[in-house]
């Protein structure tokens, strides 16, 4: 009797005989993922830098999916479904933020040993990260320029630029609930960066002042605040890791490096949810 036949007859042994690839490979595409690393230097540290960056891109993809799911649910007045997506995104943001740990203690010498392999490459060129920022309301037409040479990616970003952000959908929900969100906020040009409005701050303050009457909206506001806090932590960790690895030198791809990241880190996400707290 062949060993393989004997094993297959054991009810505790999984099926080990597959034609071609395994069902796991067919679904996960692990072979594609684990062979997507093409190193451009001899430095052993480049592998962890490249893989960590690729992992970040996968988390960006998941977060875009979650926030688009939440936006669609809010548009259809399915607040519990939106909350589920936001709560999942919190755990995913925690995992994304942990991605900085392998890179957080790079010395300048260690980073410089493979930095030249990046050439003109820079994180600000990430299309999926840009879609993530657009969903948070941080929009800019100029950020489509690096993707002009990739028609599919450019079209996806152009579409995301023109659509309401996650926060825009939240404000539309508040308006449908009878809260006085200004018309100019609801009908604004969605291709532009969201700027804080005092009247929206007052709306959030009113929601938080009546936790019994506005319980669902308070829970939504807190979920959004959790997301905003974790995004701010991501930006802060990015700033610290970059400052540690390269100081104040100019970044790759023509970016301003630390100066650019400092500006980004100072920008609040969902701003009125933070300022309204001083009014309650």
pLDDT in tens, 78-124: 999 999 999 999 999 999 999 999 988 888 898 888 888 888 887 88
In a domain, 16, yes or no: no
| Number of structural domains found in the chain | 1
232 CB contacts (<8 Å, ≥6 apart)? 265, 268, 269
In a domain, 44, yes or no: yes
Return the CATH number at 269.
1.20.58.480
Give the per-residue pLDDT at 253: 56
In a domain, 8, yes or no: no
- CA–CA dist 198, 217 (Å, integer): 19
- CA–CA dist 37, 40 (Å, integer): 10
In a domain, 1, yes or no: no
In a domain, 13, yes or no: no
Flag whether 69 is marked binding: no
- CA–CA dist 34, 62 (Å, integer): 19
In a domain, 9, yes or no: no
Give the structural domain span for 96: 23-278
- CA–CA dist 92, 60 (Å, integer): 9
- pLDDT cut 90: percent of the chain above it: 72
Give the per-residue pLDDT at 70: 98
Flag whether 35 is marked binding: no
Flag whether 176 is marked binding: no
Give the per-residue pLDDT at 260: 77
* pLDDT value at 9 more than 80: no
In a domain, 229, yes or no: yes
157-197 pLDDT per residue, tens: 999 999 999 999 999 999 999 999 999 999 999 999 999 99
What SS3 state is found at 18?
Answer: coil
- CA–CA dist 242, 262 (Å, integer): 10
In a domain, 29, yes or no: yes
Give the per-residue pLDDT at 103: 87
């Amino acid at each position: 009797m062949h060993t393989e036949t004997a094993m297959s007859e054991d009810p505790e042994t999984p099926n080990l005989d597959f034609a071609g690839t395994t069902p796991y490979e067919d679904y996960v595409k692990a072979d594609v993922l684990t062979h997507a690393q093409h190193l451009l230097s001899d430095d052993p540290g480049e592998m962890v830098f490249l893989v960590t960056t690729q992992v970040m891109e996968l988390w960006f993809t998941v977060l875009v999916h979650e926030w688009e799911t939440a936006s669609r649910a809010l548009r259809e007045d399915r607040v519990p479904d939106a909350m589920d997506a936001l709560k999942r995104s919190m755990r995913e943001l925690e995992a994304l933020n942990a991605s900085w740990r392998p890179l957080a203690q790079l010395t300048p010498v260690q980073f410089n040993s493979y930095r030249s392999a990046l050439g003109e490459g820079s994180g600000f060129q990430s299309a999926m990260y840009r879609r993530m920022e657009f969903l948070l309301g941080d929009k800019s037409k100029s950020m489509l320029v690096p993707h002009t040479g990739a028609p599919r990616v450019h079209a996806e970003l152009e579409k995301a630029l023109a659509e309401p952000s996650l926060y825009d959908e939240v404000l539309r929900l508040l308006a449908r609930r009878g809260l006085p969100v200004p018309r100019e906020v609801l009908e604004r040009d969605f291709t532009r960066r969201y700027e804080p409005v005092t009247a929206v701050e007052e709306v959030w303050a009113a929601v938080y002042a009546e936790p019994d009457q506005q319980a669902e909206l308070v829970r939504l506001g807190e979920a959004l605040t959790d997301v905003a806090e974790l995004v701010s932590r991501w930006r802060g960790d990015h700033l610290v890791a970059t400052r540690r690895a390269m100081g104040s030198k100019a970044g790759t791809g023509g970016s301003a490096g630390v100066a650019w990241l400092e500006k980004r880190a100072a920008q609040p996400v969902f701003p009125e949810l933070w300022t309204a707290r001083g009014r309650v």
